[in-house]
Amino acid sequence: MSLQPNKILGAVLAVAVVVFAVDFVSNQIFAKQDLKTPGYVIDMNAAPAVVATEAPAAGSNASAATQQAAAPAASPASDVAPIAERLKTADVAAGEKTSKVCAACHSFADSGANKVGPGLWEVVNRKPGTHEGFKYSPAMATFGETHTWDYATLDIYLTNPKAEVPGNKMAFAGIKKPQDRANLIAYLRSLSTNPAPLP
Ligand code: HEC
């Protein structure tokens, strides 16, 4: 009997084994993983320049909105109207709504009660780090030596608290929209028996 058919069958089986082996090994190496989030995340704060330059030039409203969202974290972008301007059109009621995100840590009551953060009654024009009975971080106390919570300082701080006062212990990312900040600051101004004059 000829061994030829067996040899051919053997060769075919050997190839099949190798193919399965390669397939198995490559599946191990290149295991398919499902993405947790599709695509990739664009950090608007980390890469403002790229986002701004790629924003479509057409439609000034749309591009203005994009640039506001892409404002650098530390200081309001130069194309953002100064806080003195924005306060003129600020909406105190809208600011009170925005202040809900602060209320977990701050009391706005005239008792000046402290919670996780210091009481914010009469905060406008107060020296940072000086509210009675609150244990501030050294960073905030030091900041108070050279600053006052005037409108502009509040505007910058609330854009990105960690950037303006590095090492302060307010665990809050900031309020990115310039008009939201203005509304909120107008509300903070109202927390007083004798609100500070508008700038
Ligand atoms: C997760 C808690 C938390 C949230 C939310 C929070 N804060 Fe604070 N805030 C703090 C803490 C804590 C401090 C004290 C920081 C320090 O001593 O370093 C502080 C300090 C401040 C100060 C300085 C006050 C002073 O007496 O010098 C201001 C102003 C302020 N916060 C405003 C706000 C506003 C407005 C919001 C909402 C948009 C807000 N915070 C949200 C915890 C918070």
Give pLDDT, residue 39: 55
Angstrom distance (rounded) from CA 15 to CA 8? 11
Ligand 1 pocket by C-beta < 6 Å: which residues? 101-102, 104-106, 116-118, 120, 123, 128-129, 131, 136-137, 139-140, 149, 158, 168-172, 175, 184
Highest-confidence segment of 59-73, 77-91, 185-199: 185-199
Tens digits of residue pLDDT in 109-126: 999 999 999 999 999 999
d(CA 67, CA 22): 51
Atom of ligand 1 nearest to the CA of 101: 37
* Buried b or exposed e, range 165-184, using 16+ CB within 10 angstroms: beebebebebbbbbbbbbbb
What would the pLDDT profile of 69-111 be if each residue is shown by its tens digit? Answer: 444 445 556 789 999 999 999 999 999 999 999 999 999 999 9
Tell me what the mean pLDDT of segment 188-195 comes to: 98
Q: How far apart are CA 157 and CA 149, in angstroms?
A: 9
pLDDT value at residue 191: 98
Fold of domain 76-190: Cytochrome Bc1 Complex; Chain D, domain 2 (1.10.760)
Going by alpha carbons, the residue nearest to atom 17 of ligand 1 is 136
Q: pLDDT-derived band of residue 154, with 50, 70 and 90 as boundaries?
A: very high
Q: Where residue 29 falls among pLDDT bands split at 50, 70, 90? A: confident
Distance 55 CA to ligand 1 centre (A): 33
The total of other beta-carbon atoms located within 10 Å of residue 121's CB is 19
Stretch (H or E) spanning 163: helix 161-164
Q: Specify the residue with its C-alpha closest to ligand 1, atom 34.
A: 102
Nearest atom of ligand 1 to the alpha carbon of 188: 35
Name the nearest CA neighbour of 188 among 101, 126, 122, 110.
Answer: 122
What is the greatest pairwise CA distance in the chain?
Answer: 113
Give the span between the Cα atoms of 71 and 35, in whole angstroms. 29
**C-beta contacts of 122-131 below 8 A and 24+ residues apart:** 122/191, 122/192, 122/193, 123/149, 123/154, 123/188, 123/191, 124/149, 124/150, 124/151, 124/154, 124/185, 124/188, 124/189, 124/191, 124/192, 124/195, 124/196, 125/149, 125/150, 125/196, 128/153, 128/165
Percent of the chain with pLDDT over 70: 75
Domain range list for the chain? 76-190
64 CA to centre of own chain: 19
Q: What is the pLDDT of residue 77?
A: 63
